[in-house]
Amino acid sequence: MYQVIIIEDDSMVADINCRYIENTPGFAVQAVFQNGAQALEYLKGHEVPLIILDYYTPVMNGMEFVDRLHGMGKAPDIIMVTSASDAQIVCQMVSRGILDYLVKPFEYHRFREALDKFRQSRERWHTHDGALRQEEIDEMLSSGAGKTAPAQILAKGLNDSTMNMIRRFLMENSSSMFTSEEIAERVHLSRITVRRYMSFMVETNEITSTIDYQTGGRPAIKYSFGKIKQK
């Protein structure tokens, strides 16, 4: 079982990351921190193989955290999960050896790919003892171990802040189900806009949808946060 720590100051996003990790076989959340300083203090006495890191957090940004972490002589794998998509930031983080880079919001299967990449990297590097032949090194690097692939920004023209607004509403009311019209009224968006986001979140298995036939008229589709369905 691979233990993971999360550094994320937005509690809603941290909860989503926790759910994604716990729904991926072989992974478990060891601890969650709101900033890098808390995580560094924890890591003084604990070892962890994988960190999920947001770039924009209080006290220090992701780059400062990685530099201080390496200064402590620690080098766990790091997956960035952040809204920071500026080319300079991405390049600087890649140069620091991060394993993968996901731009918020992202699809569950993309998060799962990052975890699978970590697992494959660990298995490749730790099944070899002694010196490696050049061909073995080439194979490891070309297959993705120790190599970062830039994350794709959210497709279909959806907006990060709007997606998070809808996510937050659904998570705060996770015991209830809502139609897109009800959600639109509560978050003050148009019905058409909400339907687009609902369709995307259903497609990516982030939320569940159910047809309600007890409306007294036309059946209605209702949405809620539920257990993630793995692809």
Distance of CA 93 to the CA centre of its chain: 16
Q: Is the pLDDT of residue 204 over 50?
A: yes
Question: Superfamily for 2-142?
Answer: Response regulator (3.40.50.2300)
- Mean pLDDT of the residues in the chain: 84
Q: Which range is least confidently modeled, 97-111, 120-134, 169-183?
A: 120-134
Helix axes 87-95, 62-71, angle to 10 degrees: 10
Q: Give the tokens for residue 74.
A: 């620690």
* pLDDT at res. 66: 93
Q: With the C-alpha atoms ordered 114, 18, 86, 203, is the resulting torsion angle positive or negative?
A: positive
The larger pLDDT score, comparing residue 137 to residue 79, is at: 79
**Across residues 177-205, what is the average pLDDT?**
89
Write down the domain spans for the chain.
Answer: 2-142, 160-224
Q: Is the pLDDT of residue 148 over 80?
A: no
82 within 8 A of 66, measured Cβ to Cβ: no
**Across residues 53-78, what is the average pLDDT?**
93
Q: How confident is the model at residue 215 (pLDDT cuts 50, 70, 90)?
A: low
How far is it, in rounded angstroms, from Cα 40 to Cα 34? 11
* pLDDT at res. 60: 95
100 within 8 A of 117, measured Cβ to Cβ: yes
Q: What region does 86 belong to: left with phi over 0, alpha with psi -120 to 50, or beta? A: beta
**Across residues 20-37, what is the average pLDDT?**
95
The topology (CATH level 3) of 160-224 is: Arc Repressor Mutant, subunit A (1.10.10)
* pLDDT at res. 155: 52
